[in-house]
C-alpha cells in the first residue's frame, strides 16, 4: 500500500516533534520508505526536519537526503556542520555523495572528505569529483563487483561476498585482467551453476556493452534504453574499468531531459523552473518567447489590416480567422512533436528528409481534406455558400504548410546542433498564424475576385 501524505499526518508528526516523543516518531518512520520520509521533511521547518532526521539510522538518513530536490537539499544542509554531513556521506553511494558535495562550498566539501571514516569512500569521491556532471564519469558510481579473469568460481563467490558489502544492488559481475581492463561480464546464474574449480575465463561473456567516461549522459541513457540494461560499466580511454552507472541514475537524467523539452516546447527557456525561484527568474524564463509571439501576432494583425477592403465587402470572412490560426498552430505543434520525439529516440533516422516530408504531406492532405470539408459544410449551414471554396482551400493549404514547417524546422535545427524542442512551441505557432492568415486572404481574393 502506498503512503499518502496528508495535512493531518504532518500535524501528528509536528505534535510528536514538539513533545519530543521520540518513541512515536521512530515507530512512525519505521513504517515508511526513505522517499516517503523525504516528502514529510518538505512540510516541516528546518529545525523540525533536523530533529526528525537525527532520530533515524544514518543509512536511512543518507537515502532521505539523496531523495531531496537539489535546491531544497542545499538550503536544508546549510545548517549542518561538516561532521554531521560526513556521517551521512559515509553511508551514500559514491555518485550520490559527489552530487551532494558538489552543492556545498569548497571549504565544506574538503572538510567533509577529510572527516570521512570510510577512506575508500573518500578515495572514490575524489576520483569522481573531477568529472563534469553531464558526462558518464560524473554519473557513475565506483561501487561495483569485479573479478579477475584467472579467478576460480569458488574464489569468485568469496570475492563477491566481500565486495557486495559496499554494493547495494548486484546487477553484474564484471571480468577484468591484471591491468583492470574490462574483458566482459559473468552472470550470477552461471557462477552458481558452474563447478567450484572452474575458471571465470571459461564461463564469462566477452560481449559486454560499456560506455566511456567522456560520453554525454544523454548517450548513456539512450544506450541503456536501447539494450534494456539495469547497469552499464564505465571505462576510460585505455579500457580500464572505473565504475558503473545504474538505472536509477539514468531515470533521473531521462526525467530531467523530458522536463527541459516540455518547457522548451511551451516556450520557457533557461533552467528548469522551481516553485521558489524569484519572480525575475521566472519572468526571464518565459518572456523571450512571449515577446516573439506578441511580435508575430502584431505582424498577423498588420496582414489582416492590409485586407480591410476584402473584409468590408464580405464581413463573414472575419469569422473564420480564428480557425485558420488555431488549426495551423495545432498541426504544426503535433507534427514537430512527433519529429522531435523521433530525433530524441534515434528512431527512423535512416529515413531521408524527403521521405519524412512525403509521409507528412500525405497525412496532412488527408487531414486537410477532412477539416476543410467540415468547415465548408459549416459555411453552408450559416448561409455563406460563396465561402465554401475559400475556407476549405485555405484550411487544406494551412494544414499542408503547417505540416511542412513542423517537419522541416526541427530537422534543420538538429542538423545545426540546436535542441529541436525549442522550435516546437511559440515559434511554429506564430509563424503558422502569420502564414495561415496571409494564405486565407490571398485565396479569398483570388476565388471571390475582391
Do 294 and 421 belong together in one domain?
yes
Indicate which CATH number applies to the domain containing 93. Answer: 1.25.60.10
- Domain housing 389: 279-448
Same domain, 12 and 63: yes
140: in domain: no
Q: Evaluate if residue 330 carries a pLDDT over 90.
A: no
Question: Could you tell me if 314 and 424 lie in one domain?
Answer: yes
In a domain, 273, yes or no: no
Tens digit of pLDDT for each residue in 180-209? Answer: 999 999 988 899 899 888 999 999 999 899
Domain count for the chain: 3
- Does residue 18 lie in a domain region? yes
Quote the pLDDT of residue 328: 83
Same domain assignment for residues 230 and 125: no
**Is residue 291 assigned to a domain?**
yes
The answer to whether the beta carbons of residues 177 and 148 sit under 8 Å apart is yes
- Residue 308 or residue 198, greater confidence: 198
Mean pLDDT in the chain? 84
Whether residues 75 and 123 share a domain: the answer is: yes
Same domain assignment for residues 370 and 409? yes
Phi, psi of 203 (to 5 degrees): -125, -10
Considering the domain boundaries, does residue 162 fall inside one? yes
Among 248, 268, 287, identify where a domain stops. 248
Looking at the structure, do residues 435 and 288 belong to the same domain, yes or no? Answer: yes
Q: Are residues 108 and 168 in the same domain?
A: no
CATH of the domain at 177: 3.10.580.10
pLDDT at residue 269 is higher than 60: no
* CATH code assigned at 444: 1.10.357.20
Mean pLDDT of 365-379: 89
Reported as a single tens digit per residue, the pLDDT across 10-52 is 999 999 999 999 999 999 999 899 999 999 999 999 999 999 9
- In a domain, residue 265? The reply is no
Q: Quick one: 107 and 216 in the same domain?
A: no
Residue 262 in any domain: the answer is no
Q: Do both 124 and 158 map to the same domain?
A: no
Q: Name the pTM for this structure.
A: 0.62
Grid coordinates belonging to 3: 503512503
Q: Does residue 255 lie within any of the structural domains?
A: no
Whether residue 153 is found in the same domain as residue 298? no
Amino acid at each position: 500500500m502506498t503512503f499518502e501524505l496528508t495535512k493531518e499526518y504532518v500535524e501528528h508528526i509536528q505534535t510528536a516533534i514538539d513533545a519530543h516523543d521520540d518513541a512515536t516518531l521512530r515507530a512512525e518512520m519505521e513504517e515508511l520508505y526513505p522517499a516517503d520520509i523525504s516528502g514529510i521533511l518538505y512540510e516541516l521547518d528546518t529545525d523540525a526536519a533536523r530533529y526528525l532526521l537525527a532520530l533515524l539510522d544514518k543509512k536511512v538518513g543518507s537515502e532521505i537526503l539523496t531523495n531531496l530536490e537539489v535546491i531544497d537539499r542545499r538550503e536544508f544542509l546549510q545548517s549542518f556542520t561538516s561532521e554531521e554531513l560526513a556521517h551521512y556521506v559515509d553511508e551514500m553511494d559514491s555518485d550520490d555523495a559527489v552530487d551532494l558535495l558538489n552543492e556545498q562550498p569548497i571549504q565544506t566539501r574538503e572538510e567533509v572528505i577529510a572527516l570521512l571514516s570510510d577512506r575508500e569512500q573518500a578515495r572514490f569521491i575524489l576520483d569522481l569529483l573531477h568529472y563534469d556532471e553531464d558526462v558518464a564519469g560524473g554519473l557513475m558510481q565506483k561501487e561495483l563487483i569485479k573479478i579477475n579473469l584467472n579467478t576460480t568460481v569458488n574464489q569468485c563467490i568469496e570475492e563477491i561476498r566481500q565486495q557486495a558489502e559496499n554494493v547495494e544492488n548486484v546487477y553484474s559481475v564484471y571480468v577484468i585482467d591484471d591491468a583492470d581492463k574490462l574483458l566482459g561480464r559473468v552472470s550470477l546464474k552461471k557462477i552458481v551453476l558452474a563447478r567450484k574449480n572452474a575458471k571465470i575465463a571459461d564461463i564469462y561473456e566477452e560481449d559486454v556493452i560499456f560506455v566511456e567516461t567522456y560520453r554525454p549522459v544523454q548517450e548513456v541513457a539512450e544506450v541503456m534504453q536501447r539494450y534494456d540494461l539495469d547497469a552499464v560499466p564505465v571505462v576510460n580511454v585505455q579500457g580500464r574499468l572505473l565504475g558503473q552507472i545504474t538505472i536509477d541514475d539514468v531515470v533521473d537524467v531521462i526525467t530531467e531531459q523530458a522536463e527541459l523539452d516540455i518547457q522548451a516546447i511551451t516556450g520557457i527557456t533557461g533552467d528548469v523552473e522551481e516553485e521558489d525561484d524569484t519572480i525575475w527568474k521566472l519572468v526571464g524564463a518565459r518572456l523571450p518567447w512571449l515577446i516573439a509571439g506578441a511580435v508575430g501576432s502584431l505582424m498577423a494583425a498588420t496582414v489582416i489590416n492590409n485586407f480591410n477592403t476584402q473584409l468590408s465587402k464580405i464581413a463573414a470572412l472575419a469569422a473564420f480567422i480564428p480557425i485558420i490560426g488555431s488549426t495551423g498552430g495545432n498541426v504544426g505543434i503535433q507534427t514537430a512533436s512527433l519529429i522531435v520525439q523521433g530525433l530524441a529516440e534515434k528512431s527512423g533516422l535512416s529515413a531521408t528528409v524527403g521521405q519524412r516530408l512525403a509521409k507528412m504531406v500525405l497525412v496532412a492532405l488527408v487531414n486537410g481534406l477532412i477539416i476543410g470539408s467540415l468547415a465548408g459544410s459549416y459555411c453552408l449551414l450559416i448561409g455563406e455558400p460563396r465561402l465554401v471554396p475559400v475556407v476549405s482551400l485555405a484550411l487544406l493549404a494551412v494544414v499542408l504548410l503547417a505540416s511542412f514547417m513542423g517537419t522541416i524546422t526541427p530537422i534543420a535545427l538538429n542538423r545545426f546542433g540546436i535542441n529541436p524542442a525549442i522550435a516546437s512551441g511559440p515559434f511554429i505557432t506564430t509563424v503558422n498564424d502569420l502564414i495561415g492568415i496571409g494564405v486565407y486572404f490571398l485565396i479569398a481574393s483570388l476565388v471571390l475576385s475582391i
